[in-house]
Amino acid sequence: MIAGVDEAGRGPVVGPMVVAGVALPREELGRLEELGVDDSKRLSPKRREAVALGVRSLPGIRIITVHLAPYEIDAAVRNRSLTLNGLTLSTMALILEKLAPSEAYCDLVGSRPEAMERQLMRLMSARPRLTVARRADTLYPITSAASIIAKTERDAAIRELNEKLAGRYGPVGSGYPSDARTRRFVLKAGKDARRHIRWTWGTIANLRRRGARAKKATRNDP
């Protein structure tokens, strides 16, 4: 079995980070290119969903995903001996252990591929032939498939969150701090949506300070 591992949702302030592993028999790898797998960010949402469905239907496919909740991410950020990189790597190692491939291709976490390879190998009892590369999801179709699975599962989680909370607090948006809808959601929902928000993100502190100033100005307005 040949495996690819990637994550989606590392940077958002709202929602989970999803780490996905996809494994296929070597003889089935050519089918990934036939499906049109690519870096998930290069595909439209509709195309991503269609390709993900195709990937899931391939003969011999094995897929494992782990959803890391905001509170788990916050705990890792606060724990200097773990860190977000450490949480991501330990989750990737767990997935690889379960998939038990002979070869694995992982997208880079951090800045040094060789260091990440060593860290992963220390975390695993299995010994696959391991390749870590920057933008591996653009280089290896099996990692592209993992990227697509991770992204579509995160998208589904955000849609579900939107269905639950948009009526009370407005649309969640993409969950990324650059999204004005997400920033408005965080300001309005606040601690009512505490388990869906990453409180350690600097964006949150900035938004809360801005919201506090706006409330103060409103109270002082004659």
Superfamily of domain 2-159: Ribonuclease H-like superfamily/Ribonuclease H (3.30.420.10)
* Lowest-confidence region among 12-21, 54-63, 136-145, 187-196: 187-196
pLDDT, greater one: 92 or 188:
92
Give buried/exposed letters for 163-200 (b at 16+ CB in 10 A, else e).
eebeeebbebbbbbbebebbbbbbbebeeebeebbbbb
Q: What is the pTM of this model?
A: 0.89
Q: How far apart are CA 24 and CA 62, in angstroms?
A: 7
Give the pLDDT mean for 79-86: 89
The string of pLDDT tens digits covering residues 113-171 is: 999 999 999 999 988 999 999 999 999 999 999 999 999 999 999 999 999 999 999 99
Strands 129-133 and 103-107: parallel
Give the pLDDT mean for 107-114: 94
Q: How far apart are CA 18 and CA 10, in angstroms?
A: 8
Domain ranges of the chain: 2-159, 169-214
Give the pLDDT mean for 29-43: 89
Q: What is the pLDDT of residue 14?
A: 95
Give the pLDDT band of residue 216 (cuts 50, 70, 90): very low
Average pLDDT, the chain: 90
